[in-house]
Amino acid sequence: MRIMALRILHVALEVAGPYLVKYSALGHITEDSLCRFLFQLVRSDNLDLLQESLVVASTLLGTCRGVLKLQQELFLSYLVACLHPALEIPRVVGIDPLLYASIPQVPKLVKPPASQNVSGRSTPVQVKDRQKLGLEGGARKPDARQAMVECISVLLRMPSYMVELFVNYDCDEDRVDLCEDMIGLLSRNALPDSATWSTTSVPPLCLDALLRYIQFLAQRLEWQPILRGLPDPVHLKMRRQKKKVIINGASKFNENPKNGLGYLEAHGIISSMNDPSSVAAFLKRTERISKKALGEFLSKRGNETILQAFLNLFDFSGKRVDEALRVLLESFRLPGESALIERILSSFSEMYYLSSHPLEVADKDAVYVLTYAIIMLNTDQHNPQIKAAKRMSFEDFSRNLRGVNGGEDFSPDYLGDIFNSIRLNEIILPDEHDNQHAFDYAWRELLSKSATAGPAIECKTNIYDADLFSSTWRPVVSALSYVFMSATDDTVFARVVTGFDECARIAAKYGVVEALDHIVHALSQMTTIATTTPFSTDLNTEVQAGGNSVVVSKMPEAIFRSQEIVVARAWDGMLDLWIRIVDILDRLMNSGQGDSLSELALDAEGVYVNNLEERVRIEQLKDALAQIFSEYGTLVEIVAKSNLRAKGQAFIVFSEPDAAQAAISELQGFELFEKPMRLALAKSRSDATVRNICNADEFDQHKRKRAADKDKRRATEAADQQKKLKLAATLQDTTSRGESTRGAGLKANNPSTATLVPDEYLPPNKTLFAQNIPDDYDVDSLTSIFGRFNGKTLSANHSFNRAVIML
């Protein structure tokens, strides 16, 4: 029956959704009852009911989200809390962790769990119940997760949806950062390992949603700005900065209230630390303040004026004393010490009596005694350590209050209503209640705030795209980098390359220099041209992107050539990136497609053997290898060494390629000295092979190349070591330097001493960095000077009087 009703609602919303909210009666039902019961069904464990509920919810938000600003926030926050995994990203060999360091591990909206041992709660919530509620997430079944991801994917098919989330929530001081959390959620679940806690369909769904988000941004690049009737982007940027200050201030307050208030005063959030009204107003309206820290702060001696100002912000008129106390204790956690509790209850009793003048209570002293009795009753009725037979009855509760109401007894009906309210509904912080109580409280708060929150703004414009991209590009680029380097499908390669290209165009259009630098760096890390580390995938990386055939190795070059003006703006820290780019360009221009076939070809006559027994003498090992491999052909050379780096390895060189292939085929896994050998074709030609097939000049050239490659490798290792030591820009006293030879021993004897790699050990390249260039020298002038050396000026930066010349 419920599924049928949901399907009828789905049809009604598809046909007339935008018109329903125009009628006040139907609009009220939609905003309250429909959303309330629909979002409760989303928490169901019944998969069929969950799927239908999510379909209706996505249609409802797609057609009526303009009047459902806070309802949408509650719904999406629940999905994010359920879907965002709490596990670390698995480390994969060959993928630099820096490439995916920007993917968030925890969404911003998830608050750290409160410590249960000091909460004062009589009946702590079970972990299972809290997870099911979505307070901690991670409790939904794989099929349920997929259904939720599909719901999000449907919403993100609307081109302006992410912009609307950014404007309506991320730029609002009182709302959560839904846009950033949504991008973080998609980025994390786009990684392959997310299939282990969901389904295999979730990673491609999330990747598709990320790429579609970037595609929509790229499509709006050429739009004409539309400003009419929309908030000023500059004003929204200021609000976003203010929001960050409030978040930082709340965090500091939770650690040290005095420091937090000082920080907020310095940034103009509160007028003064000594203004009780300003401090109290901030503490009451800011949900990021810890309930425990707030209770301790308000009850502290010396803060009586702030406590009084805080109580003045509540309206207790028309409320019974237990109802007023419940409202108050929903805003902070009552401290555990009796002296602190007394201070708060005394101020509350006076405030309640003066503002309400209840007929059933004689004076403020009676309110104080009754309030204390209510707290004791609450603990007695809901403490699991007290047996039901020994709990306080109504007669016991009434007996404890005899003669305290101005010398008289309280009305039995009045005390009966209080007793039943406490017995059936425990007073405690809402986020520690069970499912129904927590949801009911959240919904009451939502409806009370809806009037002041205003409608959601529809944003079919590109005026906010620059700030939106600046806030979200890091996890997007990180996810694309990780997916590319771990994927095994040509279609994925093509889509990710297109995504990189669109990200680069967006970054260049809006001048997000850091994003463009990061993209070029990430792509240069992936290419097999600029690194000696082999790429992790066995597939060809030549893909179709934008109707053209693109090899990922050429992407850094293409981005650089098209956006060199933007790249040139970020000169500082570009040395490593320039060296990598120029190395790629050099290899591409020298061979057209990267390294030549002769350089990449495996040694058809050589066999690389590892996993050999290291304790066997080299002579004995060579003899054993000769006896085994000689059966497959004529041996030219056996190379095995005893140094630490070469232990357990050997190279077998045959005179014929077929012999090497046959040996690998038949001896793979053959046990030698009780260890199975692992065989593969050697990645480079041995000296013996080159000597046999080349003349003397070619052999000398081969040896020189190997020596140069060795020097370059050592130089790269030295430069990497230099980075790790965070070297100073200039040398200190040479007598205090550490010994340095050929890139080895770079660490100084004195750890505080800076050590630089000599120029002769820097990676060889054909690039000059010219400085102190006269102001009137442009690119053409420099090219004419260096032209006789076949040099070309790639770019010149007149702000720093520098240029890059490639020879």
pLDDT in tens, 782-791: 777 777 666 5
pLDDT exceeds 80 at position 546 = no
CATH number at residue 668: 3.30.70.330
Which tokens go with 788?
A: 């006789």
Residue 752 CB-density burial (10 A; 0-12 exposed, 13-18 middle, 19+ buried): exposed
More confident residue, 684 or 742: 684
> How high is the pLDDT of residue 754?
38
Q: Residue 719: its pLDDT value, please?
A: 58
Q: Residue 210 has what pLDDT?
A: 96
Domain boundary among 540, 569, 597: 597
Q: What is the pLDDT of residue 689?
A: 66
**What's the per-residue H, E or C state across 647-710?**
CCEEEEEECCHHHHHHHHHHHCCCEECCEECEEEEECCCCHHHHHHHCCHHHHHHHHHHHHHHH
Question: Which has the closest alpha carbon to 485: 767, 99, 103?
Answer: 99
590 and 607 in a single domain? The answer is: no
Q: How many domains does the chain have?
A: 4
pLDDT over 80 at 424, yes or no: yes
- Whether 357 maps to a domain, the answer reads no
Query: If pLDDT is split at 50, 70 and 90, which confidence band does 352 have?
Result: very high
Quickly state the pLDDT bin for 615 (edges 50, 70, 90).
confident
Q: Tell me: do 717 and 674 sit in the same domain.
A: no
pLDDT at res. 220? 94
| Same domain membership, residue 93 and residue 134 | yes
* Residues 543 and 572 reside in one and the same domain: yes
Residue 11 and residue 160 in one domain: yes
What is the DSSP track for 506-567?
A: HHHHHT-HHHHHHHHHHHHHH-SSS-SSPPS--S--EEEETTEEEEGGGHHHHHHHHSHHHH
In a domain, 85, yes or no: yes
Same structural domain, 584 and 653:
no
- The residue out of 536, 569, 597 marking a domain boundary is 597
Q: Is residue 559 in some structural domain?
A: yes
Instruction: Write out pLDDT tens, residues 56-92.
Output: 999 999 999 999 999 999 899 999 989 988 778 887 7
3-state SS, one letter per residue, for 298-361:
HHCCCCHHHHHHHHHCCCCCCCCHHHHHHHHHCCCCCCCCHHHHHHHHHHHHHHHHHHHCCCCC
pLDDT given at position 20? 85
Task: Examine residue 284 and state whether it is found in any structural domain, yes or no.
Answer: no
Q: What is the pLDDT of residues 446-458, one digit of tens each?
A: 888 887 888 899 9
- Residues 12 and 129 reside in one and the same domain: yes
- Name the domain boundary from 200, 235, 270: 235
Please tell me the predicted confidence (pLDDT) of residue 572: 46
Asked whether the predicted pLDDT for residue 748 surpasses 60, the reply is: no
Tokens 């039995």, located at residue: 412
pLDDT value at position 420?
Answer: 93
pLDDT category, 807, cuts 50, 70, 90?
low
pLDDT at residue 113, rounded to an integer: 45
Q: How far apart are CA 88 and CA 92, in angstroms?
A: 12
733 vs 347: which has the higher pLDDT: 347
Q: Is residue 581 domain-shared with residue 609, that is, in the same domain?
A: no
For the chain, give the percent of residues with pLDDT over 70.
73
Assign 610 to helix, strand or coil.
Answer: strand
Asked whether residue 332 carries a pLDDT value surpassing 80, the answer given is yes
Q: Are 23 and 156 in the same domain?
A: yes
With respect to residue 579, please indicate whether it lies within any of the assigned structural domains.
yes
Residue 395 lies in a domain: no
Note the pLDDT of residue 589: 56
Top-confidence residue, 632 or 432: 632
Does residue 240 lie in a domain region?
A: no
639-653, 678-692, 725-739: least confidently modelled range: 725-739
Q: Which domain holds residue 672?
A: 603-682
Whether 615 and 577 map to the same domain: the answer is: no
Residue 665 has pLDDT above 90, yes or no: no
Model confidence at 487, in pLDDT bands (50, 70, 90)?
confident
Q: Is 528 domain-assigned?
A: yes
Kindly state the average pLDDT of the residues 243-271: 93
Residues 197 and 101 grouped into a single domain: yes
Confidence class for position 750, pLDDT limits 50, 70, 90: very low
Tens digits of residue pLDDT in 587-604:
555 544 444 333 334 456
Mark whether 73 and 199 lie in a shared domain. yes
Region 263-267 average pLDDT: 93
| Residue 549 main-chain phi, psi, to 5 deg | -85, 125
